[in-house]
């Protein structure tokens, strides 16, 4: 915990009224720990000497140094006097929780209680606010298990000599309600009996809010398996009856439209695309995402020429999604080749695409990986200064299988003719150049230039120089070269 520095000023007046001149000096420095007498042995924690100029920043630095020791939870500084300032540092020791115990008529295991306790843990820092938050957390744990009126009282027993605290929480659980009945409003009537059998919340059973939450999710899942992925399930009413400590529940179910999926032409598991329709989405987007998933699935199996045509049909309460698939011929990719490489060797490209070790060991390449490679090739070239590179994928017969041929049109390369750093007075230029990737004679890439500017701003900030702005100018020349100025 980091607590703010408090500057309490005596009758001499507010801090900003004290003269800020060399005549204002430190007359005395005193360090006290929780009301103890002066502790000269701790003066080294606040490296301010008698006779030093009075500088608020130096006091602030001293407070930060004290916090860094990790021994104190609070620091207060009293500044008394006008031209001769008497400083008193009041320190509060950091206490640690040595043990946490639970007493009273506990209805839950210690393991479950500790699992939901975050504000206060064994060997963690102790404070009264943490103790109060821990009480609230335990009340919530008990509430979720059905003890709606549970009382929790935390008691701290400090061991001052060791700066440790033993904490005991007395728990008075109170009465638990029993479920009187569970009724449904809406939904499919024929499902209700089966749902009640599967639910943990039912007539005659203890009412536990955590179990009810799980039951609501169980109902949503059951509706989802029947084709209603957007079913809404909630608690409409809770009727408490104090006389016999029972509760009646009314659950509201809105199935919403049924989503039916038909996949024709190939053996594709419906589970591959159904999750896309669990939320309300743009149908056109959903169809494209489903097609991409289906094509990836087929290409992994060698159907690299597969095509998918999709459509939707809708009536009052049903959305019917239809995917018609033409898988094409199944082929085995036995070789990957490249055409049009000039700036880089084939070994360089294979290494970039992760193909060097794959072919010898497995004998073929998964089709779905191949279709991602043109984009990866273009990105690689662009990063090397070729913004206009285009790569296409073709297939040719090859030794009982097929050859995947990547045809690359590289285009001209852009380079950096000169790189200049201006107005850098606080940090040496050679130090700044070491922070960036761009180099004179190296590839020109606008994205890399922007990242370099961000790196330089971060570097200044990390050096404690705030507010620095890095502006970049790129001047194109006639021969695909650029002059870059930071």
- Give pLDDT tens digits for 236-286: 999 999 999 999 999 999 999 999 999 999 999 999 999 999 888 899 999
* CA atoms of 343 and 381, how far apart (whole Å): 9
The band of 328, judged by pLDDT with boundaries at 50, 70 and 90, is very high
Which carries the bigger pLDDT value, residue 36 or residue 370?
A: 370
pLDDT at residue 200 tops 70: yes
Give Cα 384 distance to the centre of its chain.
32
The average pLDDT across 28-47 equals 78
pLDDT at residue 17 tops 80: no
Tell which residue, 17, 21, 75, has the closest CA to residue 46: 75
The band of 354, judged by pLDDT with boundaries at 50, 70 and 90, is confident
The band of 372, judged by pLDDT with boundaries at 50, 70 and 90, is confident
- Give pLDDT tens digits for 137-164: 999 999 999 999 999 999 999 886 677 8
pLDDT at residue 291 tops 90: yes
Give the 3-state secondary structure of residue 166.
strand
| Beta carbons of 247 and 207 less than 8 angstroms apart | yes
The band of 8, judged by pLDDT with boundaries at 50, 70 and 90, is very low
The band of 369, judged by pLDDT with boundaries at 50, 70 and 90, is confident
Name every residue whose Cβ is closer than 8 Å to that of residue 265 and which is 6 or more positions away in sequence.
324, 325, 326, 327
Name every residue whose Cβ is closer than 8 Å to that of residue 110 and which is 6 or more positions away in sequence.
102
Name every residue whose Cβ is closer than 8 Å to that of residue 18 and which is 6 or more positions away in sequence.
9, 12, 24, 54, 82, 85
pLDDT at residue 5 tops 70: no
Lowest mean pLDDT among 237-246, 354-363, 382-391: 354-363
* CA atoms of 434 and 455, how far apart (whole Å): 11
The band of 356, judged by pLDDT with boundaries at 50, 70 and 90, is low
Buried-state track 424-452, b at ≥16 Cβ within 10 A, e below 16:
beebeeeebbeebebeeeebbbeebbeeb
290: which strand partners?
none
What is the pLDDT, as a whole number, of residue 169? 95
| Beta carbons of 158 and 95 less than 8 angstroms apart | yes
Tell which residue, 72, 85, 74, 93, has the closest CA to residue 15: 85
The band of 4, judged by pLDDT with boundaries at 50, 70 and 90, is very low
> Which bin fits 60, alpha (ψ -120 to 50), beta or left (φ > 0)?
alpha
Token digits for 229? Answer: 């992925």
User: Residues of the chain with pLDDT > 90: what percent?
Assistant: 59
| Beta carbons of 15 and 79 less than 8 angstroms apart | yes
Name every residue whose Cβ is closer than 8 Å to that of residue 288 and which is 6 or more positions away in sequence.
none
- Give pLDDT tens digits for 403-441: 889 999 999 999 999 999 998 888 999 999 999 999 999
The average pLDDT across 99-125 equals 89
Question: How many residues does this entry show for the chain?
Answer: 486
What is the pLDDT, as a whole number, of residue 215? 97
Lowest mean pLDDT among 7-16, 20-29, 247-256: 7-16
Gyration radius of the chain's alpha carbons? 36
pLDDT at residue 232 tops 70: yes
The band of 72, judged by pLDDT with boundaries at 50, 70 and 90, is confident
Q: Which domains does the chain have, with CATH numbers?
A: 6-93 (3.10.20.310), 95-172 (3.10.20.310), 178-254 (3.10.20.310), 258-326 (3.10.20.310), 333-409 (3.10.20.310), 415-485 (3.10.20.310)
Buried-state track 364-387, b at ≥16 Cβ within 10 A, e below 16:
bbbbbbbeebbeebbebbbebbbb
């Amino acid at each position: 915990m980091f607590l703010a520095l408090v500057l309490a000023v005596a009758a001499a007046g507010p801090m900003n009224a004290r003269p800020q001149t060399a005549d204002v000096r430190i007359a005395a420095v005193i360090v006290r720990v929780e009301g103890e007498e002066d502790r000269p042995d701790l003066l080294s924690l606040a490296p301010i000497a008698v006779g030093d100029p009075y500088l608020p920043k130096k006091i602030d630095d001293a407070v930060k140094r004290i916090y860094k020791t990790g021994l104190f939870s609070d620091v207060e500084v009293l500044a008394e006097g006008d031209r001769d300032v008497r400083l008193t540092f009041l320190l509060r020791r950091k206490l640690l929780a040595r043990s946490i115990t639970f007493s009273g008529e506990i209805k839950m295991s210690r393991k479950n209680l500790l699992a939901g306790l975050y504000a206060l843990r064994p060997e963690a820092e102790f404070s009264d606010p943490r103790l109060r938050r821990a009480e609230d957390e335990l009340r919530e744990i008990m509430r979720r298990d059905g003890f709606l009126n549970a009382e929790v009282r935390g008691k701290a027993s400090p061991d001052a000599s060791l700066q440790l605290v033993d904490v005991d929480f007395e728990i008075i659980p109170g009465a638990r309600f029993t479920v009187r009945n569970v009724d449904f409003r809406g939904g499919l009537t024929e499902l209700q009996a089966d749902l009640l059998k599967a639910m943990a919340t039912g007539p005659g059973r203890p009412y536990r809010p955590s179990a009810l939450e799980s039951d609501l999710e169980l109902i949503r899942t059951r509706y989802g398996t029947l084709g209603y992925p957007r079913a809404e399930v909630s608690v409409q009413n809770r009727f408490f009856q104090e006389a016999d400590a029972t509760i009646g529940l009314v659950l509201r179910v809105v199935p919403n439209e049924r989503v039916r999926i038909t996949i024709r032409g190939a053996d594709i598991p419906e589970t591959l695309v159904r999750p896309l329709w669990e939320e309300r989405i743009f149908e056109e987007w959903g169809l494209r995402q489903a097609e991409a998933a289906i094509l990836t699935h087929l290409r992994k199996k060698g159907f690299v020429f597969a095509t998918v045509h999709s459509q939707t049909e809708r009536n009052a309460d049903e959305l019917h999604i239809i995917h018609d698939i033409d898988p094409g011929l199944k082929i085995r990719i036995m070789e990957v080749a490249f055409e049009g490489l000039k700036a880089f060797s084939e070994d360089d490209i294979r290494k970039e695409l992760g193909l060097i070790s794959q072919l010898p060991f497995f004998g073929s390449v998964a089709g779905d990986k191949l279709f991602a490679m043109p984009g990866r090739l273009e990105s690689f070239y662009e990063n090397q200064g070729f913004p206009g590179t285009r790569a296409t994928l073709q297939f040719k017969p090859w030794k009982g299988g097929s050859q995947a041929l990547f045809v690359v049109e590289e285009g001209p390369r852009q380079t950096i003719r000169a790189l200049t750093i201006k107005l850098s007075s606080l940090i040496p230029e050679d130090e700044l150049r070491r922070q960036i990737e761009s180099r004179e004679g190296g590839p020109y890439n606008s994205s890399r230039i922007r990242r370099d500017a961000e790196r330089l701003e971060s570097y200044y900030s990390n050096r404690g120089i705030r507010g620095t702005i890095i502006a970049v100018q790129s001047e194109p020349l006639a021969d695909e070269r650029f002059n870059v100025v930071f």
